[in-house]
Structure 1
Amino acid sequence: MIAAIRYQLNKIVSTENEKNWYVPELFFRNTMPILPSELQMVAPPPTADKNYNCFLFMLGLHENASVINKTGGFIYSFFIEHLIACGELIEAQQMQEGTLVLYKNLSQNENEFTHGGILQADGSVISKWSWGPLLIHKMFAVPLAYGDTVLYYDPISKEQALHLLEKYHALL
């Protein structure tokens, strides 16, 4: 069942369908009707000037207009990788609500994170899918392209995330 959903999500989120994914009116007209019922939409795709990716959401910086402007709404895997390499993000010893969830597709690139989200109390994940909607989903109810490897890290505060963004701004 999950494999079929993942395959379907791969098509929905693909580059050939990208405008239907991130342009709000096209999302509601063309994508929302075919979105698997296993996914719960928390928020639709924001307008282009307020949009952000999964890593900004995961770090709690998605509502900071200054950060959105400075980053263009994107921080990339290498920023997260750097935070881990220098010990700013610590691998979680136990999973709990708020734990950071990072996905890898080892068959594509073993060093790069493809997606990130936040663990919910019930074991589901809330995450922002590229420039698309904010969704709650089961751990592996994600596009196949996100991969099958999941790593968990202790959460950090918005203030700490903002400090790290400023500290390592040269990586942006």
Structure 2
Amino acid sequence: MINWKAVGMTVLPVIGGMTNGFLFGPKRENKEDWYNKLVKPPCNPPGWVFGPVWTTLYGMMGYASYRILSLRETSDVSMALTAYGVQLALNMSWTPVFFGMHRIKAAGVIVIGLCGSIIWTIKEFQPLDLTASRLLYPYLAWCTFATFLNWSIAYLNSDNKALKND
């Protein structure tokens, strides 16, 4: 029997992330797109990596939240779900700030807050469901790397003349 609640809560963040990326993400095929003008660090992954990575991470986040929500009859999950909501809101705000508004440093502040809120979420999930907390470890690792990329791009583009018209 298919657990439709689990499927729904797993897929919902994936759909949210895809929609956010579609609306605000880079237009890599357009050479004149702002993102394509940025100087990026040598360790910046190729564009095709981001879709599969984020799809996987959003699915893991969603399933972790389902596992926690499933405990609401026997445990107080309110703080855990609050932490989850905060990190999800920060996550969804990064893309429009970085790609939509071209505010690299503001996005850098958001991603630092995101890493902190992921740690908070892991801390709140752990006593309730160890598996749910561990499902967020790759997400924290990726966002830590994203923080490095974000601030590297800010530094490398502080005097990028190609961005002055944006």
Do both share a fold (TM > 0.5)?
A: no
| TM-score with structure 2 setting the length | 0.27
| TM-score with structure 1 setting the length | 0.26
Which one has the bigger helix percentage? 2
Which one has the bigger strand percentage? 1
Q: Which has the larger radius of gyration?
A: 2
